[in-house]
């Protein structure tokens, strides 16, 4: 192993540790806080946490082994099973984040009708769709032998077949990423832009009330007035920063998966891993 591959392997180890600790912490909070369990969004968070935890336990150690050995770390049958599981869990995670954004959009834009629009059974139906969506694509890929060891990805995932069925694989991959990654990204952008619009509207109303109060308090100290104005500015930026962080995290987590599992990535399969990193 050269320096680049050692650094990449250490990075995977750090990601595994952080993922395990963070997801286990979420499960502990869910188990010991009955108020959280009563809330509808906890179903989406719980589903997302289980998907991330299973992906961390099942697929990421195999990725680490593939990086260290620079070869397929398991047999073909076991690798196909893990490839099916990886495709299912990755798809479910994306759709769970999209479902969570829809829940927040309804809660913010329609607060008075939230409890009638998003009940536990409604959340269960949404999760049922995410599972059916994930199972359908991962099962189709597994049945057509389109899951296996991907050298560039150094793991068992969607893998380009031989030349005979390459066209069908390209069509499948385009549909798969369009109805998972792209669909989830569009839903995230639409819902959180609506949330941001409502948040800015409320911030403007608060700012008007604050300015009216500052005008009436003629004897207020200038430093207090300045702090109030600074708090207004921070309040306006806070919502934008949180939404940008959520969408940016989605892109950071899933864009590499989409890029490396796309048909175009197979052009680099013959290039050693350390050359693709330089």
Q: Using one digit for the tens of pLDDT, what is the confidence trace for 32-49?
A: 888 887 888 888 989 999
Q: How confident is the model at residue 273 (pLDDT cuts 50, 70, 90)?
A: very low
Between CA 45 and CA 44, with CA 52 as vertex, the angle to 5 degrees is 15
3-state SS, one letter per residue, for the chain: CCHHHHHHHHHHHHHHHHHHHHHHHHHHHHHHCHHHHHCCHHHHHHHHHHHHHHHHHHCHHHHHHHHHHCCCCCCHHHHHHHHHHHHHHHHHHHHHHHHHHHHHHHHHHCHHHHHHHCCHHHHHHHHHHHHHHHHHHHHHHHHCCCEEEECCCCEEEECCCCHHHHHHHHHHHHHHHHHHHHHHHHHHHHHHHHHHHHHHHHHHHHHHHHHHHHHHCCCCCHHHHHHHHHHHHHHHHHHHHHHHHHHHHHHHHHHHHHHHCCHHHHHHCCCCHHHHHC
Find the mean pLDDT for residues 69-76: 74
Find the mean pLDDT for residues 18-28: 90
Output the pLDDT for position 65: 81
Looking at per-residue pLDDT, the higher value among 187 and 278 belongs to 187
- Residue 227 CA, chain-centre distance (Å), reads 37
d(CA 53, CA 73): 21
Q: How confident is the model at residue 271 (pLDDT cuts 50, 70, 90)?
A: very low
Domain boundaries, the chain: 3-187+260-277
Output the pLDDT for position 263: 61
% residues pLDDT > 90 (the chain) = 18
Output the pLDDT for position 277: 36
* Sequence-ordered list of residues with C-beta below 8 angstroms from that of 232, at least 6 positions apart, any chain: 203, 206, 207, 210
The residue with tokens 């869990």 is 89
Output the pLDDT for position 209: 60
The residue with tokens 């952008």 is 189
As its CATH architecture, domain 3-187+260-277 has Up-down Bundle (1.20)
d(CA 180, CA 91): 6
Find the mean pLDDT for residues 173-181: 89
- Inform me whether the pLDDT recorded for 170 exceeds 60: yes
Task: Report CA dihedral (25, 28, 33, 39) to the nearest 10 degrees.
Answer: 70
Q: Which two tokens mark 191?
A: 């819902």
Task: Please state, rounded to an integer, the average pLDDT across all residues of the chain.
Answer: 79
């Amino acid at each position: 192993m050269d320096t680049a591959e050692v650094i990449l392997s250490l990075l995977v180890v750090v990601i595994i540790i952080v993922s395990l600790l963070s997801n286990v912490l979420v499960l502990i909070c869910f188990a010991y806080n009955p108020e959280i369990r009563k809330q509808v969004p906890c179903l989406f968070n719980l589903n997302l946490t289980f998907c991330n935890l299973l992906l961390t336990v099942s697929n990421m150690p195999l990725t680490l082994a593939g990086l260290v050995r620079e070869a397929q770390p398991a047999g073909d049958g076991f690798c196909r099973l893990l490839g099916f599981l990886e495709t299912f869990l990755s798809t479910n995670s994306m759709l769970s984040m999209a479902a969570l954004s829809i829940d927040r959009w309804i809660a913010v834009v329609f607060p008075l009708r939230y409890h009638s629009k998003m009940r536990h059974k409604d959340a269960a139906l949404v999760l049922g769709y995410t599972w059916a969506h994930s199972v359908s694509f991962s099962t189709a890929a597994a049945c057509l032998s389109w899951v296996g060891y991907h050298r560039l990805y150094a793991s068992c995932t969607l893998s380009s077949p031989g030349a005979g069925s390459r066209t069908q694989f390209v069509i499948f991959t385009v549909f798969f990423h369009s109805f998972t990654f792209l669909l989830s990204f569009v839903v995230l952008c639409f819902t959180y832009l609506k949330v941001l619009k409502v948040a800015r509207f409320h911030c403007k109303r608060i700012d008007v009330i604050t300015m009216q109060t500052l005008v009436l308090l003629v004897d207020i100290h200038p430093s207090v007035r300045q702090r109030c104005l600074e708090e207004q500015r921070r309040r306006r930026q806070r919502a934008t920063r949180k939404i940008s962080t959520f969408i940016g995290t989605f892109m950071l987590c899933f864009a590499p998966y989409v890029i490396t599992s796309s048909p175009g990535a197979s052009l680099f399969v013959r290039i050693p891993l350390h050359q693709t990193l330089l």
